[in-house]
Amino acid sequence: MATIYTVVSSKGGVGKSAISNHVLSSAFTYLGRSFKIFEID
């Protein structure tokens, strides 16, 4: 079963993409987990 993590804010320019692309991807890579990132605007 997959776990879905979301990064949400209604305000623009708060770093959602940066957190998703840098922090979460680094953490999942370090843990050896596979992941996919979907960005929906």
**Rounded Cα–Cα distance for residues 2 and 13 (Å):** 29
Q: What is the pLDDT of residue 39?
A: 85
pTM of the model: 0.65
Cα(7)–Cα(10) distance, rounded to whole angstroms? 10
Instruction: Quote the pLDDT of residue 29.
Output: 94
In this predicted structure, what is the pLDDT of residue 6? 87
| pLDDT in the model for residue 2 | 85
Q: Residue 30 has what pLDDT?
A: 96
Q: What is the pLDDT of residues 1-41, one digit of tens each?
A: 788 888 888 888 888 888 888 999 999 999 999 988 888 87
